[in-house]
Structure 1
Amino acid sequence: MDLKQSNKILKQFAEIVKKQQAVRPISPKEKLKVGIDLGTSSIVLAVLDHDDVPLYGAFQYADVVRDGIVVNYIDSVKIVKKLKLQAEEKLGIELTSACGAIPPGTGETAQKVVANVINDAGFLAHTIIDEPTAAARFLKLEEGSVVDIGGGTTGISNFKNGKEIAVFDEPTGGYHMSLVLSGAKKIPLAEAEILKRETSDEREIFGIIRPVAEKMASIAKQYVVLNEAAPILLVGGATNFEDFVPTFSKVMDHPVLRPEYPQFVTPLGIAMFD
C-alpha cells in the first residue's frame, strides 16, 4: 500500500469532478473502465483508462438508497443515465460497460437490483462487488482492514497476503448521523443532511453525532484484525469530519488512517473491476 500515491490520485480525481472536464482527448478505440457508486446521499460515476488513471468523474446528491438497498429505482436509473450522458459528452465516446457495488452481506437481491439500475441506465453491468473490497483494490491493500462507512451501513473487509479473508457489514452510517442531528436540532432530516456537510459548524455538529461515530468504531473493533503491522483504513464520505479519525483511534485503541477525499476511494475502486 502506498497511501501517498493514493492521496495524489484522489486529489487529481477531486479536481476532475470539480471541473467536470475530461483530462485529455479520448480515442474511440480506447477501452475505458467505469464505476457507479450508488450511495445513500449521492451517486458517483468514475471513468478510468486501461491503466486505471482517472479520466473523468461526476456525482449528484440523491436520496435513493437506504441501508445499502435501492429504495427509489426509477430515480436511481434517471440519475445514472444522466451522469452517463454527461460523461459521454465530455469524453466524446460511448461508455458501454460499468461496475457497481453493494455493502457486504446485503445479498443476491441487492446485487441484482444494482445491476438492473446500471443496465437500465444504458450500461452493461460487468461486475457487482462489495464496497470495502473495492476500496481495498484502489488502495492496493495487501494486509490490514478497510472500514467503509457509507450513508446507511458500515462495511469491514480484512485482508492478508493480498486476499480477502473476511467481510462484514453493520447497519449504521451517515444516515444515522443525520437522524441524530435532526433530533438534536429539531429540524427535518433533509435539512440535517445538508447541515452535516457544513464545514463552518463542523465542531458543533460532530459534538452532536460523536456517539454515532463511537458506536461505529466499537462495531469495527469487533471485526478488524488488530495487528501493529496491519493498517486500518477509514473510507467513505461520512468520515470527512476532522475529529472522526481521532475518535475512531481512541475507541479502537489502535492507529487509524484515512485517505484524502475518502468519499472517492470506493468509486475509483469499483471502476478498477470493470
Structure 2
Amino acid sequence: MVDLQKANSLLKEFNSIVNTKKCRKFNKNEPLKVGIDLGTSSIVLAILDKNDAPVYGSFEFAEVIRDGLVVNYVEAVQIVSRLVRDAEEVLGLDITEAATAIPPGTIGNDKKVVSNVLESAGLEVTCVIDEPEAAACLLNMTHGAVIDVGGGTTGISVIEEGEVVLSLDEPTGGAHMSLVLAGYYAITVPEAEVLKRDKSKEKTNFIIIKPVVDKMAAITQGMLAQHPIEPLYVVGGASYFEDFVPTFSKYLKMPVERPDYPQFVTPLGIAKASIRTID
C-alpha cells in the first residue's frame, strides 16, 4: 500500500533543501545513499541518510539526454562532476559512489553509457535501475503501475507483489511539449522550454500541449489493455501542470494520483534503491 502522505513529506523536505542549497543535519559517522538522475531537461543529485530521509539535493538544467539516450557525453560528465563537487563542499565529505537509472527497455551500450557518465565523473556505480521502478521504490509500491513522464519519454512499470512484471518506454515527454509550444508560438525550442515553466501562462500553454498529454495517456491505455491494474501513479517533471492529472484520468476513465513535486520522485527513489552506501 502506498503511503502518499509520507512520500509527499519527504518530497517537500527535499524540495526545501534544493531551494535553500543547504544540507539537513546528519551524522557523519553513518553512511549516506547517493542517487543521480540523468534527465532530459535536468540532472538531479539526491542524497539520503540510512533511514532514507533527505540530507542534500541539487540539480542543473541540461540538454544532454534525448529520448533516454546520452547525446552530449562530455557536458553530462561535467555537470555530474560539478554537482558532486558542490555537494562535497556542503557536506564536508567525499562522495565516491552513486546509483543511477535508465528508461525501461534500455539495453546494451545505451545502458552502459549512463554508467560511464558517472564513472567518468569519478564515481563508482552502485546500482542501475529503471526510472519508473525507482519511483515505485520511493512510493513503497507493492502493487500498481508507475507512469514516469520524463523529458523525452513516457516510461511505465507494473508492480505486483513488490516485483516489476512489465516495463515499457515510449518517446513522448516534456521535450515534445516544448516542440509543440515552439511551433505554435514560432519561437525556438529553448525559448519554448522557458515558456513551458511560466506558471502565469500555464492554463493557456496546457491547452496547446494537451494533445501530447493525450498521447501519454494513450500509451498508458495501451499498457492497461495488455495488463489491467490499479492504482496508477504518475510522476516526472512533465506532469507538473495543474490540469495534467484530471486530463489523464478523464482519458483513461479511471483515477490517477500524483505525488507532490513529481520531478523529484525518481531521483529520491534512485538514492533509496542504492545497493551500497558511501562512508
1:111 Cα shift?
Answer: 1.7
Residue pairs, 1:49-68, within 5 angstroms: 49-68=49-68
Match of 2:260 in 1: 260
> Is 1:13 aligned to 2:14, yes or no?
yes
Unaligned runs of 5+ in 1: none
- 2:199 maps to which residue? 199
Asked whether the 8 Å contact 1:26–1:93 carries over to 2, the reply is: no
What letter corresponds to residue 12 of structure 1 in structure 2?
Answer: E
Structure 1 residue 108: Cα displacement: 2.4
Counterpart for residue 81 of structure 2? 81
**CA displacement, residues 241-273 of structure 1 (integer Å, 9 cap, x when unaligned):** 000001100111110000000000000000112
Matches within 5 A, 1:68-147: 68-147=68-147
Tell me the equivalent position of 1:272: 272
Shift in Å at residue 105 of structure 1? Answer: 1.1
Query: C-alpha offsets along residues 169-210 of structure 1, whole Å, 9 cap, x if unaligned?
Result: 111100001001100000000000110000000000001000
Aligned to 1:188: 188
1:1-56 deviation digits (Å, cap 9, x = unpaired):
100110011000000000111101441x3211110000110000000111111100
Q: Aligned letter for 1:65?
A: I
Instruction: Say if 2:156 is the partner of 1:156.
Output: yes
The residue type equivalent to 1:183 in the other structure is G
Letter in 1 for 2:22: Q
Does the CA contact (< 8 Å) of 2:144 and 2:232 recur in 1? yes
User: C-alpha separation between the residues in 2 aligned to 1:226 and 1:145?
Assistant: 10
For 1:54-79, what per-residue CA distance to the aligned partner results, in whole angstroms no more than 9, with x for missing partners? 10000000010000001000000000
CA distance in 1, matches of 2:223, 2:99: 27
Q: Does the CA contact (< 8 Å) of 2:181 and 2:192 recur in 1?
A: yes
Aligned position for 1:212: 212
Q: Is contact 1:102–1:110 with CA below 8 Å preserved after alignment?
A: no
TM-score, reference length from structure 1: 0.97
Residue type at the aligned position of 1:87? A
Instruction: Say if 1:26 and 1:91, in contact at 8 Å, map to a contact too.
Output: no
CA distance in structure 1 between the aligned counterparts of 2:27 and 2:242, rounded to whole angstroms: 38
Contact 2:101 2:130 in 1 (8 A): yes
| Counterpart secondary structure, 2:210 | helix
Alignment partner, residue 277 of structure 2: none
Aligned alpha-carbon RMSD (Å):
0.9
Letter in 1 for 2:249: S
Quote the offset at 1:106 in angstroms. Answer: 2.1
C-alpha distance in 1 between matches for 2:136 and 2:11:
14
